[in-house]
Structures are given as structure tokens and as C-alpha cells.
Amino acid sequence: MTIKNFGRVVEVLVAGMTFSMDKYAIEGTVPFDNDTLPNESEIKIWNLAPETITWLKRNENLIINAGYQGDVGVILHGYVADVRTLRDGADKVTTLRVMDCEDLSKRTVKDIAYVEGTLAERIIRDMAAQIGLPIAQFELYQNVRYLEGYTASGEATEIIAKVAEDCKTQVYVNRGKLYVRNLRRGKDDLFKLSAKTGLIGAPEYFEGEGVKGYNVTQQLQYRVTTASVIDLDSLAFTGRVYVRSGQHSFSRTGDFTTVTEAVL
């Protein structure tokens, strides 16, 4: 289906209030990637009433829905880390800094000993329980057995990452959930992307750190996130790529795009 770049929709839901782009000037950026570190989004809303601003506080849950009329979905589910309001000429701009999950580096364990022959799956699931995030997908390429046992000590996310690396599997946090799987495996939506369905410009080839792929810009697509699968049809490249990282950007009259780093 051809996507037309009109009828933009953005809704910011926070502190029991909803701010819609049809009533407020709103712009922002929402990044996503394939690691366990929290991602920081920045949302700006113009000319809020003083009493409204008082309700915007740290640790409030925040959701952003975005898309086009008739096709809107979640691009961010996180919590407010900081709120600042400044004057910009005659306007007043409130900037929300939003994290997509808590700072998981504070979740640590000390000398948890696993017996000989313990499987990697058990360790990862135990550590996931320590950080308190629901597991959205779990598929190890290899379920390594630690014949000499294993001692878990330190940051729970680092332990998960190390054990997953032993299993030749990636692990990342996305939209408040933990994913243990490789980018090229899993039940992900498949997107056919061409100039007719939202591709903007020509994909740019990159190569480095043992991977090859393309940087792809398209009209904002809320469904696209880490591990999304794209069948790309362009003059630069035609074939399948897998999203490793990217960013949604939105505003009333400027960028309304999803930019991704997609690997072959």
C-alpha cells in the first residue's frame, strides 16, 4: 500500500494527560538499538499552560503514539527522566527527556554460584528476573552448558550479555522488554519498502565491524524497530535487510521519518 506523507498523528500520553499534534506543536526523536543500555528520547511541546507543566514530573510513565490518520501505533513506552521549560522568543518550550527503561546497571548480583552442567538458558532467565523486565522473545542459537559451573557477580545486564555472547546470541532491551535472539531470527513483521511505500532517497551502503548493510530513510513507520525485516527495492540495492538500530523523528512540518541501520 502506498503511504502518503500527510495526516500526521502524534500523541503524547503522560500524567493522565494527552497532548496531540493537532492541538500542540510537538517534535521529538525516539532512538532504538540492539543493546541493553537505556535509550534516551527527547520530546518538545510548545506553549503549555503553567498549571499543566506542574503535572509533568520525573518517573511519570510516558507513551508516544505516532503515524498517519488511520494507522497509528506506539513508538515509545518509557518514563520521564527530566523536565525543563525555557523561553524561545515569544514561545515557551517544554522539553521532556524520556528513558525507554530504567538504568539497569544498578541491578547487581553477588556471587550466585551455579552447579556443574548448568545451561545458559537458566542463568539468563535468572538474571532477567533480577532486572525485572518481561522477556518478549527468547531463542538461543546455542544453549551452552557450563561443565565447570558458573558464578554470576556484577551487573545483571552484563552477565546476560556475556552468557548470550557465549551462546552466539544477541540481547537487547526494546520498548521496556528484553529480547534474547539474533536479528535474523524471530517472528518479526516483514516490510516491503520502495519509493511507492515510503522509501526516501537512496539507501547508503556501509561496511565495518564485520557487518555490511544500508542506512535507510523512510516515512515514519511505527512498526519498524530493532530486528524488523525489510525487503528493500531501490536502485542502490534490492534484497532483504535486518534492522539493527535507528530513530523515529517527528514534527508538524519538518522531519516525520524513520531512519534505520539495516544489516545484510
pLDDT 10s digit of each residue in the chain, 264 long? 444 456 999 999 999 999 999 999 999 999 999 998 889 999 999 999 999 999 999 999 999 999 999 999 999 999 999 999 999 999 999 999 999 987 788 899 999 999 999 999 999 999 999 988 899 999 999 999 999 999 999 999 999 999 999 999 999 998 888 999 998 875 567 899 999 999 999 999 999 988 999 999 999 999 999 999 999 999 999 999 999 999 999 999 999 999 999 999
Give me the pLDDT at residue 135, please. 94
Give me the pLDDT at residue 2, please. 44
Q: How far is 20 from 137, CA to CA, in rounded Å?
A: 32
Give me the pLDDT at residue 188, please. 67
Give me the pLDDT at residue 3, please. 46
Q: What string of DSSP letters covers the chain?
A: -PPPS-SEEEEEEETTEEEETTTS-EEEEEEE-SSSSPPEEEEEEES--HHHHTT--TT-EEEEEEEETTEEEEEEEEEEEEEEEEEETTEEEEEEEEESS--GGG-EEEEEEE-TTEEHHHHHHHHHHHHTPPEEEE--SS--EETT-EEEEEEHHHHHHHHHHHTT--EEEETTEEEES-TTSSS--EEEESGGGTB-S--EEEEETTEEEEEEEEE--TT--TT-EEEEESSS-EEEEEEEEEEEEE-SSS--EEEEEEE-
Q: Considering only CA atoms, which of 254, 262, 259, 261 is closest in space to residue 8?
A: 254
Give me the pLDDT at residue 186, please. 55
Q: How far is 124 from 139, CA to CA, in rounded Å?
A: 11
Residue type, 245: S
**Is the separation of the CB atoms in 178 and 128 below 8 Å?**
yes
Give me the pLDDT at residue 44, please. 98
Report the predicted TM-score, pTM, of the whole model to 2 decimal places: 0.91
